[in-house]
Homo-oligomer: A and B are copies of this chain.
Amino acid sequence: MTGNKIEIPKWVWDFHGHTCPFMPIGYRMGVLAMKELSIDRVKDHGAFAFSEMGVGHPQTCMMDGTMAATGCTYGKLMMERLDYGKVATILYAPGKGAVRIYLRSEFQDELGKFEFFAYRKKGIEPSDIPEDVTEKVVAKVMEASDEELFKVEKLPDFTFSRPKGSFAKVKCSNCGEYVFERYVRMKDGQPMCIPCSGYDQTWVNVLKGVQ
């Protein structure tokens, strides 16, 4: 599939798991952002992608496309969500600047009319939607120009540095498992991991689906 001469490698679809229109939107967003900053795909840790998306809404698939295009992966801690519920991404490369790309509201409106989303609203999973229905909406994305798709904004004052990394770790006095130092808690005078300490509510929040 091509559009503005952009081709999405097959492995990107394999990674994502299903065919949908928002993964390619995210991929194209990543490609355009790299072009705006004059950078290549990141092998290690040279750029950060901040997605303005959140949870509890569709279209987050975009993030998989952006990770694949830019190399700013979640595992390398180069992608994070800002949880604004907006279809936009900021790409920042130290020394090169930052750019914000928003999927134009007009394009969001046009896209929403495609049959693909009627299926999605009924709760039908992308891989169960008839192929020709999916193809049409993906073609719409791939054939649009960057100008039709995106609003581009340079962020001259944007800066970010990730938390300093440390290899230091200790064993939890309760379960005996290793914990990286930043996450060690003290309880009854002993170092513990967060779940053993009982201090943190993250676990409970996850179980409750609280964000």
Contacts and interface: CB of A to CB of B under 8 A. Distances in A.
Interface of A: 9-12, 14-18, 23, 26, 41-45, 50, 54-58, 60-68, 71, 73-77, 79-80, 82-88, 102, 105, 108, 117, 120-121, 125-128, 158-167, 169, 171, 176-184, 193-195, 202-203, 206-207, 209, 211
A203 B56 contact: no
Given A73-B17, A75-B16, A209 B161 contact: yes
A77 B10 CA distance: 21
A165 B85 CA distance: 12
A6 to B, nearest CB: 17
A163 B56 contact: yes
Contacts of A171: 105
A75 B60 contact: yes
A183 B55 CA distance: 9
